[in-house]
Homo-oligomer: A and B are copies of this chain.
Amino acid sequence: MKALNRQIVLAARPNGHARPSDFEFVERPIPVPGDGEVLFRNLLISVDPYQRNLMGNASTELPPIDIGQTMPGPTVAVVERSGNPEFAVGDHVVSWSGWREYGLSDGSDLMKVDPEAAPLSTALGVLGHTGLTAWIGTTRFLDPKPGGTFVVTAAAGSVGSVAAQIAKLRGHRVVGIAGGPEKVRYLKEELGLDEAVDYKAPDFAEQLARALPDGIDTLFENVGGRLFEALMPYFNMKAQIVICGTIAQYAFPGASDGPNRLPELLKAFLYRFIVIRGFSLTDHFDAYPEFAVEMRSWVSQDRIRYREEFVDGFENIPGAFLRLFDGSNTGKLIARLG
């Protein structure tokens, strides 16, 4: 066991996009588990866009973490010492310990995972909170009409790609929106979506019009900002929309340039009878077992595919996180510790 526990803490609140100097590496003693406690070593650390929101000066309504606090988030870990009879040395667990090498817990926030059942990394993605988010959003709130057009934004992302495939499994015409030709190829050729649109392309507006000859019946929205505004004219009568993320807005709390498009949206509610909602994942944690059975089955039959992007080495987490916001990432981003 190493003598020290490296952690990445918030050093400064970003203005706009985060920068490397907003993070600081600190070394603290490895804690010693007391009675009932578990010491675990993180093997895999989740790196997610929403973590920008925890840093402050962000487009969130939740309070940010304190300066000096370790960046929070889920991890997969192995138990190294245990004073808790429910956990044995060598057990694998999902923890919420964040960007640190070692964590201590009383066990209440740990969930055991079986490394034989599926790759451990899937516990942070397709079989974890991102997969659950996609599954809840698509199955609990969207009731698309058969044959209708189902649009997913950030469709190559860890949540969007699963949502888009669930919609395909349910027989809908699915249009994915993502940035760049490689993601478009992935959506059409590997995930089998009906259409994919490149929002970065100079002919984005024309691509969108070609992909949506019959408008949008259902939208699983992960982006917000200008992309949402571009989709508004396509909302059909009685369109159903779930807002699952607004990644384009996260780093810009005051983002309000351009004309005020809010009156146009209110008008769409009135004349097109649309419904838009957000949802709280925590309200649906009790659905986890049902989700896990269905998603494990889909994944094992290759009916739901997923991509993971690994970054090796604890020290490379901040850089990988920053790249989440330049659109170059595809699939679930996971830091793999040595």
Contact = CB atoms under 8 A, between A and B. Distances in A.
A276 interface: yes
A260 interface: yes
A270 B274 contact: no
Nearest to A228: B266
Contact of A263 (B238, B256, B267): B256
Interface string A237-258: 0100001111001000001111
B271 A61 contact: yes
Contacts of A279: 273
Q: How large, as a class, is the contact surface on chain A?
A: 35 or more
A334 to B, nearest CB: 24
Contacts of A283: 273
Greatest chain B CB density within 10 A among A257, A270, A277 is at A270
Contact of A267 (B61, B221, B267, B268): B61
A86 interface: no
Contacts of A262: 228-229, 260-262, 265
Given A273-B278, A273-B279, A260 B263 contact: no
A265 B259 CA distance: 15
A73 interface: no
A226 B68 CA distance: 40
A231 to B, nearest CB: 12
Interface string A65-93: 00000000000000000000000000000
A275 interface: yes
Interface in A173-200: none
Interface of A: 59-62, 221, 224-225, 228-229, 238, 243-246, 249, 255-280, 283
Given A221-B266, A262-B262, A269-B276, 6 more contacts: A62-B271, A224-B270, A249-B266, A258-B260, A260-B260, A261-B262
